[in-house]
Structure 1
Amino acid sequence: MAVMDAVAAYWEHILATYDPYTVDFVGTFIVQVIFWWIPCVLFVLLDSIAPSFSERHKIQPAPKQPTSSEIFHSMVVCIRNQIIVFALHGALLYATFAKGLPPSIRVDPKLPSLEEFIRDLFISVLAREALFYSSHRILHLRPLYKRFHKQHHKFTAPVSFSSQYAHPVEHISANVLPLLLPPLLLKSHILTMWVFVAFQLIETSTVHSGYDFFLGAAKKHDRHHERFDVYFGGIGLLDYVLGTDEPEDRRRDKKD
């Protein structure tokens, strides 16, 4: 395929121009900007750039929406968390470089095969769901909730930037590690990891956006911020298996 040949040639050019440590660090930063910062900004600006669309799809009413100062504060906290994570990332890369070791993720000039790409992506999505669901439920235990997770639940009507609005301990243990551990343990190609991380960043900014136009995903997470005892997972698989979802018939029973 001409497109894949062009991608392969460009990827080989990148690795011939830059060392793998730089590719790992800068590439991961670019993924964060494109697939988290840009969607978050667009969701926050939706009221201004598409008011009628925003009104049709916004979940929570205006009185419950966070103020501009609260949104700005959440952005500052997100920047702090990302600085911590990228500082740790840079320190790890420097340590591996100093020891003459390659980066922890596989930075290979050869593209992953389609079979490997699909396999690693599928396993990573399932593993992330298990890790995130488990860490999220643990953070709802009373001592840990009060010490760490309560900060994230400040937003009872979530906005996109609240997806990384968290205590640094929570951000690393529940947001970052469930994303990075699966591809690292699988020894995935870095391009596979970037696609996986990009998908998860779009997912988390979307479910926290406050807008319900992606198959009900945001509405479910809104319910979590409202009720605290439902929808702990990302894709909903473990919520369904373990009974922490909220089926429509259960909602109707509670209303009756």
Structure 2
Amino acid sequence: MLHAFPDLADQSVWLVVPLVAGLIALRYVVLAGGALALITTFGRRLRHRRIQPIPFARRQLWREFGYSMLTALIFTLVGLFTVTVGREWGLSKVYLDPDQHGLVWLLLSVPVVVLIHDTYFYWTHRFMHLPSVYERVHKVHHLSTNPSPLAAMAFHPLEAVIEAGVIVFLTMLVPIHIGVLAVWALYMFATNVMGHLGYELLPRGLATHPLFGWLNTATGHNQHHRTFRSNYGLYTTIWDRLMGTLHPRYAELYDRTTGSRPTPDAAERPVNTGAPS
């Protein structure tokens, strides 16, 4: 079938695979590894911001790292397929000239891309929590009930394909400048690392703030890993609030973790049902 896609059939294209995969892996090591080094070095000073008291196990860290390296390769292949086949079929709307769609769209496309991805992530995440799908695909990611930053890309290969599918979807749906694509990819990964940090570094009161309460937090995603349900969003809590899937004690746990409530309550204690929802 490669002869049907001249770009893919060109052997020089495949030389890019190890380079791109290496760059994705390097980004993972710098951001996820750097975050792990940070919380390890300053763990004692940050202990009042720790969401769960459970330590990261060495076996857990190696598992998260191994799956993440596989994900880096899958992301590379999906991205390569999108660029080559998308251009061959005239489906890809990625462009290089910033003047092609004007400065207004160039700036506006950043939040547009983020909100589209937030929607894509929420609904595919809900899909992967269907019992039959969860057991075969998403369970790998949930093996870490107290995830470390290294879990940011620790996906089953099929989940990695689903996660990378947003690139195909976005490049077909809206015009995206290559620079915007790069900025979004960096922001996406940084948000994912933050969600798996295990420590809440955002300020007190944010979970219920009238302007910024829609932003997702490390507390929210960590709570998802503990309960196996609720808090399905990535960048925001918008869809969780609209669909009634925000954990009822999310704000309580956030307040407790950030020191807004000095008295421990039930929101602090892990609740692992063992079943997806």
TM-score normalized with structure 2 length: 0.70
Q: State the partner residue of 1:176.
A: 164
Report matched runs for 1:193-204 at 5 Å.
193-204=181-192
Distance 1:100 1:133 in 2: 29
1:69 CA displacement:
2.6
Which residue pairs with 2:32 in the alignment? 40
What does residue 240 of structure 1 align with?
241
Aligned-pair CA distance for 1:26: 9.5
Alpha-carbon distance change, 249 to 134 in structure 1, aligned in 2, over 3 angstroms: closer
Q: Is the 8 A contact 2:92 2:171 kept in 1?
A: no
Q: How much has 1:38 moved relative to structure 2?
A: 1.6
Distance apart, 1:213 and its partner CA: 0.7
CA deviation profile, 1:176-225 (whole Å, cap 9, x unmatched): 22355224421211111111121111101110111111356011111101
For 2:89 and 2:168, locate their aligned partners in 1 and report how far apart those are by CA, in whole Å: 22
2:148 aligned to which of 143, 159, 168: 159
Counterpart CA distance in 1 for 2:91 and 2:145 is 43
Deviates further, 232-241 or 88-97: 88-97
- Report whether the alignment pairs 1:50 with 2:42: yes
Q: Tell me which residue corresponds to 2:58.
A: 68
Q: 2:195 aligned with 1:207, yes or no?
A: yes
Matches for 1:91-130 after TM superposition, within 5 Å: 91-93=81-83, 105-108=94-97, 110=99, 113-130=102-119
Shift of 1:249: 8.8
CA contact (8 A) 1:157 1:222 kept: yes
Structure 1: runs of 5 or more not aligned: 1-20
What's 2:256 paired with?
none
Task: Describe the shift of the 1:191–1:170 C-alpha distance in structure 2 as closer, same or farther (beyond 3 A).
Answer: same
| Identical columns (%) | 20
Distance of aligned partners of 1:26 and 1:250 in 2 relative to their CA distance in 1, 3 Å threshold: closer
Letter aligned with residue 124 of structure 1: V
Distance in 2 (CA, whole Å) between partners of 1:180 and 1:202 is: 21
SS for the counterpart of 2:160 is helix
Root-mean-square deviation (CA, aligned residues, Å) is 3.4
Matched with 2:4 is: none
**Structure 2 contact 25–72 (Cα < 8 Å) conserved:** no
- 1:78 aligned to which of 47, 68, 86: 68
Question: What amino acid maps onto 2:150 in structure 1?
Answer: F
Q: Which residue of 1 aligns with 2:136?
A: 147
- Write the distance in 1 (CA, Å) between the matches of 2:78 and 2:188: 20
Q: Give the distance between the partners of 1:239 and 1:222, measured in 2 at CA.
A: 15
Native 8 Å contact 1:40 1:160 kept in 2: yes
**Contact 1:81–1:171 (8 Å) recurs in 2:** yes
Equivalent pair of 1:224/1:231 in contact (CA under 8 Å): yes
Which residue of 2 is the match for residue 221 of structure 1?
221
Q: Which runs of 5+ in 2 are unaligned?
A: 1-12, 208-216, 254-264, 268-277
Choose between structure 1 and 2: higher helix proportion. 1
Task: Provide the C-alpha distance between the structure 2 equivalents of 1:163 and 1:94, rounded to a whole number of angstroms.
Answer: 27
Query: May I ask how many residue pairs the two structures share in their alignment?
Result: 230
Q: Deviations over 1:134-159 (max 9, x none)?
A: 10001111100111111110000011
- Cα distance in 2 for residues equivalent to 1:186 and 1:43: 33
